[in-house]
A and B are shown apart, each in its own frame.
Chain A
Amino acid sequence: MEENESEMVTIHVMGKKHRVPADLTIMKAMEYSGHQFRRGAGCRGGYCGACAAMYRVKGSYKLQGALACQKIVEDGMYIAQIPFSPAEKITYDLLELRPDANTFLEYYPEISRCLSCNTCTKACPQDIEVMDYVQASLRGDVEEAAKLSFDCISCGLCAVRCPAEIVPYNVGQLARRLNSRYLIGPTKHVIKRVEEVEAGEFDADIDELKRLDRKTLQERYEGREVKL
């Protein structure tokens, strides 16, 4: 790629200085400067939460969070990827829980340490009101916690930043599970479709797809009807 100086910026990736095109995302800028991702990259579309990154910009003490595949680099940016946030994976049997505050407190008692400082919310690249859903969980408002945390992709930045050492994304996940299991209940159209699958209604179609060559399969995929 031919370098046009007016469109280049300087970034620091884990302390090392690089000149990169100004319109790249953090992820692409890192690849441009020679990094290869084995972890910390997933869908590249802002959906999977694998590419959490933290950065500071020149002249500011603020530590900020972003998804590396979404955030465009800025001149003077200091970047580090946080591909994983250490957190205990609590095991529970969803069928034996109750959708109330005590369930949250039993599995994640540290939520009672929440200071309402909102640092988690500031860190969230999805613009989720993280603190608000932690607080909703604390008072047993499962539906609100599930609703507020719905866009969470478990990137982990909230957990890394929380001064009370809460892992908000796990709390949100529990809220959404409780909400689905106990408050919303089974979804009728899914039950119907599962019955159809089990009755073999799609077996012939699947068999046909399995026999297609790659080119035809690709044409079918690209030409498929997309309903939004």
Chain B
Amino acid sequence: MRLAYYPGCTMKTDAKNFDESTYSAAEALGIELLEPTRWNCCGTVHALAKDNVMNYLAPIRNLIRVEQMNEAELVDDKRVVTQCAMCYNTLKRANAAAKADPDKMGKIRDFMEKEPNYQGSVSVVHMLELIKGLGWDEVKSKVVKPLDGLKVSPYYGCLLLRPREYGIDDPDHPTVMEDLLEALGAEVVDNPYKAKCCGAYHAVHMKEVAADLSYRILKQAQEAGADIIVTACPLCQFNLGDRQNEVKKHQREFEGIPVVYYTQLMALAFGKEGTGFEQNTPDPVPVLEEKGLL
């Protein structure tokens, strides 16, 4: 029997006796071991290392810049507010990991050289957490155009809620968007798929997967009587909203439902310009007009 044999570097240095006896033993057993003509490090250390700081540089640099804003007294405190669910998740987790591991923080500092050190003083908050912190009565008091009669189904997706320790709400039964929508005067329509995956990046290379997952969410909201769906994540918005034509290719009876960001309904209820509805696909304006909100 002739087999490929990968010895690894230690067998050729400190464990030559291991290597040599391996060949001897194998030979006695009628096994011929053959090394690849060229081989490199098996990758241990690198493959198993937890001290690869490259993933942390981008998020930590952003947190350093928040510290600098605070030092320059441009902002009131050391919180940084995020909106995009992906950014929130990334910054939050990188922040926690760096704070929890001084050794990692040291390596990040070493790599960043002349850049200022991260003091670990920033806290990452999501806009929804900030709004919740203000209190729903405060939100209610700013409403000039209550969303009366508008049936809204909130959709959370995954990154705002998971992993649990970094989520902004209960990952299985979130309520923050429901509370917000009620404060805006809307009628909340529950969707059991509100925290299930929209298909995320499958939208790029497996469109049908994203379309199927998104359809499940859209259909459920529609069957429950929703006029409109709100999201809190650009990727969810893309899959549920912009990609509805893709959904229709697979589900011919599907008629479409507008999908907007929760802040767009806030701006509307607060009587503000700059709702940005012109950028939404499908167009939410007809249903909002029908409800007398535009």
Q: Taking beta carbons and an 8 Å cutoff, which residues of A are in contact with B?
A: 115-118, 122
The answer to whether A117 touches B54 (Cβ under 8 A) is yes
A8 to B58, CA, bound (A): 43
Residues in A with CB closer than 8 Å to B100 are: none
Residues in A with CB closer than 8 Å to B113 are: 122
The answer to whether A118 touches B54 (Cβ under 8 A) is no
The answer to whether B114 touches A117 (Cβ under 8 A) is no
A122 to B110, CA, bound (A): 13
Tell me if B207 is interfacial: C-beta within 8 Å of chain A.
no
Residue of chain A at shortest CB distance from B112: A118
The answer to whether A115 touches B58 (Cβ under 8 A) is yes
The answer to whether A116 touches B114 (Cβ under 8 A) is no
Tell me if B57 is interfacial: C-beta within 8 Å of chain A.
yes
Query: Can you give 11 A-B contacts (C-beta < 8 A)?
Result: A115-B54, A115-B57, A115-B58, A116-B58, A117-B54, A117-B57, A117-B111, A118-B57, A118-B112, A118-B115, A122-B114
Residues in B with CB closer than 8 Å to A122 are: 113-114
Tell me if B93 is interfacial: C-beta within 8 Å of chain A.
no
CB under 8 Å from chain A, chain B span 112-150: 112-115
- Please provide the 7 A-B residue pairs with the shortest distance between their CB atoms, ordered closest to farther: A116-B58, A117-B57, A116-B57, A115-B54, A117-B54, A116-B61, A122-B113
A115 to B54, CA, bound (A): 7
Q: Taking beta carbons and an 8 Å cutoff, which residues of B are in contact with A?
A: 54, 57-58, 61, 111-115
A98 to B57, CA, bound (A): 31
A117 to B112, CA, bound (A): 8
Q: Name the prevailing secondary structure of the A interface residues.
A: loop
A118 to B114, CA, bound (A): 11
A43 to B183, CA, bound (A): 66
Q: How far is the CB of A190 from chain B (nearest CB, A)?
A: 36
Residues in B with CB closer than 8 Å to A116 are: 57-58, 61
Residue of chain A at shortest CB distance from B60: A116
Residues in A with CB closer than 8 Å to B57 are: 115-118
A122 to B111, CA, bound (A): 10
Q: How far is the CB of A137 from chain B (nearest CB, A)?
A: 15
Given pairs A115-B57, A118-B61, 7 additional interface contacts (CB within 8 A): A115-B54, A116-B57, A116-B58, A116-B61, A117-B54, A117-B111, A118-B57
A115 to B57, CA, bound (A): 8
A117 to B61, CA, bound (A): 9
A122 to B113, CA, bound (A): 9
A116 to B112, CA, bound (A): 11
Q: How far is the CB of B115 from chain A (nearest CB, A)?
A: 7
Residues in A with CB closer than 8 Å to B112 are: 118
A115 to B111, CA, bound (A): 13
Residues in B with CB closer than 8 Å to A115 are: 54, 57-58
Q: How far is the CB of A135 from chain B (nearest CB, A)?
A: 9
A115 to B112, CA, bound (A): 13
Q: How far is the CB of A136 from chain B (nearest CB, A)?
A: 14
A116 to B115, CA, bound (A): 13
Residues in B with CB closer than 8 Å to A117 are: 54, 57, 111
Residue of chain B at shortest CB distance from A119: B111
Q: How far is the CB of A63 from chain B (nearest CB, A)?
A: 12
A201 to B34, CA, bound (A): 84
A141 to B54, CA, bound (A): 25
Residue of chain A at shortest CB distance from B113: A122
A117 to B115, CA, bound (A): 11
A118 to B112, CA, bound (A): 8
Residue of chain B at shortest CB distance from A62: B113
Residues in A with CB closer than 8 Å to B111 are: 117
Residues in B with CB closer than 8 Å to A118 are: 57, 61, 112, 115
A116 to B56, CA, bound (A): 9
A118 to B61, CA, bound (A): 10
A134 to B113, CA, bound (A): 20
Q: How far is the CB of A168 from chain B (nearest CB, A)?
A: 16
A122 to B112, CA, bound (A): 9
Q: How far is the CB of B238 from chain A (nearest CB, A)?
A: 15
A116 to B114, CA, bound (A): 15
Q: How far is the CB of A161 from chain B (nearest CB, A)?
A: 13
Residue of chain A at shortest CB distance from B111: A117
A115 to B61, CA, bound (A): 12
A115 to B60, CA, bound (A): 12
Residue of chain B at shortest CB distance from A114: B58
Q: How far is the CB of B38 from chain A (nearest CB, A)?
A: 24
A116 to B91, CA, bound (A): 14
